[in-house]
Amino acid sequence: MSAARDVAYAVIRAVGEDDAYANLLLPRELERARLSTADAALATELTYGTLRRVGTYDAIIEMAASRPVSGIDAPVLDALRLGTHQLLATRVPAHAAVHETVDLVGRVAGRRATGFANAVLRRVSERDEEEWLTRIEDAARSDDERLAVRFAHPVWIIRAFRRALSVEGRGDELLDLLAADNAAPTVTLTALPGVGSIPEDAERTPFSPIGFRLAGGDPDRIVRGSGGAVRVQDEGSQLAALALSRAVPIRAGERWLDLCAAPGGKTAVLAAEGATGGAIVEANEVSPARARLVRQSVAAVPLDVPVSEEDGRTRAGRGVYDRILVDAPCTGLGALRRRPEARWRKAPADVPELTQLQTELLIAAVDALAPGGVVAYVTCSPHLAETAGVVAEVERRFGDALTQLDAREVLRQVAGGDIDLAEPSDGSGRAQLWPHRHGTDAMSIWLLRKN
């Protein structure tokens, strides 16, 4: 317990103090600590569980401490969040959670802080989770604030989700979506087409023909043993890449470009698909460090995939490519299951700058398409400003030069069966995936053809 807790606390502190990414840092910390499989699983649950519910736990801590969390030293506050998660959301005995958290506070903040931490945690332990949720909901000032404290989502994200679901006529699914965001996602793997193979005893994913899940065992063992032919990848990410590669039949000699390629999972799928069909595949990533990840990702594919390190807005050229993937930088609101700290880092003020960048990248991609070429515009966010708003602006600029393809129909063909893709009220061809409905990240997929 102590080792798992120490790893969780180290990651939580790094996320708060250094803006670290938990999904990148935690595996390194687990390897460094050499935890058993059971302790590593506990450390993972403590880390992600605490980070997901920071907003809820802060409201509870404020009540228990009778002071705003802004007045609590950051190292102590992170320890209290971790202790509150253990008390309310795990099977750790209350006395052990309190004792070990107080011990942790003494080590990171000195003995003077232990009395305060002990008092707060003992007050938290006096009520169960539902009792605390009722108390903090009663103190909320609006219905959206009540949802925010119960489901640990900032109010602005709740409103963005509601609007996106309402466009599909599915506004009544909001609570299901918020609950799904707080559930740990299952590990999904992909076997690169023509390169990797799906184990016979694996569970096939419901929609992606190249995806699977393991009934048990360590996925890292299979990933390492495959030499890169098999890797962990969300099913929604797989479908986004396949939507472009299978939108229309591949002609030998086509040129493809992944314009914003890091970390390279979709690039690898495109490279494998392109190699099978005789296409030429290129990638671009403006960050040199992240470009190295792309090169590593495509190393197992028997195709030379050059990776440039340029600004995507000026990289592509004109009339050159037959297919382009624009997996644009976005708020990441669709991946809150996997990146739990993202919900607390993003703000409404981030959206305009991102939509400007997204628009410029998509314009550059359309300019770079050859006649008849297709661009897939993909965001891991359902926010309407980042999706429908960006596409509407690009269509306004290009007018009759662009035609939307029906991305929903393409995904139905890729899935080889039924997939519940709601038709948005704006009449667009967008395909929107959801955690609660599809078990994937909330991936938004558009397909635009240059006439």
Question: Where in the sequence numbering do the catalytic residues fall?
Answer: 380
Q: Is 421 helix (H, G, I), strand (E, B) or coil?
A: coil
Angle, CA of 327, 174 and 386, to the nearest 5°: 25
CB atoms within 10 A of CB 278: 12
Query: Are 432 and 442 spatial neighbours (Cβ–Cβ below 8 Å)?
Result: yes
Alpha helices in 246-341 (DSSP H): 265-277, 288-297, 312-315
Query: Are 43 and 26 spatial neighbours (Cβ–Cβ below 8 Å)?
Result: yes
Closest alpha carbon to 177 in 209, 151, 156? 151
Q: Is 272 helix (H, G, I), strand (E, B) or coil?
A: helix
Report the distance separating Cα 131 and Cα 143, nearest Å.
18
For the record, the structure tokens of 446 come out as 């558009």
CA terminus-to-terminus distance, the chain: 61
Q: Which residues contact 222 (CB under 8 A, 6 or more apart)?
A: 189, 199, 214, 230
CB atoms within 10 A of CB 396: 8
CB atoms within 10 A of CB 186: 13
